[in-house]
Amino acid sequence: MVIGAILERSDAVTNDDRCQELSVIFREQFSKRFGHIQCANLKSEWVEKKGQGSCSILVGETAGVLIDVLEGEIEEKLTI
């Protein structure tokens, strides 16, 4: 949703190719960073092994991954 909002995609008929591209990049970066993309695996391999007890730190770090992916898109929008 954040990717679509930044790219101003607000309906189902607007071309979403760039949204799809950024979603793939985000998913790849997330998987690279955390080793998994499925909740159960993330919880058992990342949250529990790190001794965090909850997903809140994972969620915060995920936001950082998304920001990294979106930085170029946001900067481009601001300069137009």
What is the total count of domains within the chain? 1
Is residue 12 domain-resident? Answer: no
Is residue 13 domain-resident? Answer: no
Is residue 74 domain-resident? Answer: yes
Amino acid at 6: I
pLDDT of residue 80: 59
Q: If you ran DSSP here, which 8-state letter would residue 68 be given?
A: H
- Answer whether residue 50 shows pLDDT above 80: no
Instruction: Please answer whether residues 29 and 21 qualify as being in contact, where contact means their C-beta atoms are separated by less than 8 angstroms.
Output: no
- Answer whether residue 49 shows pLDDT above 80: no
Boundaries of domain holding 50? 2-7+18-79
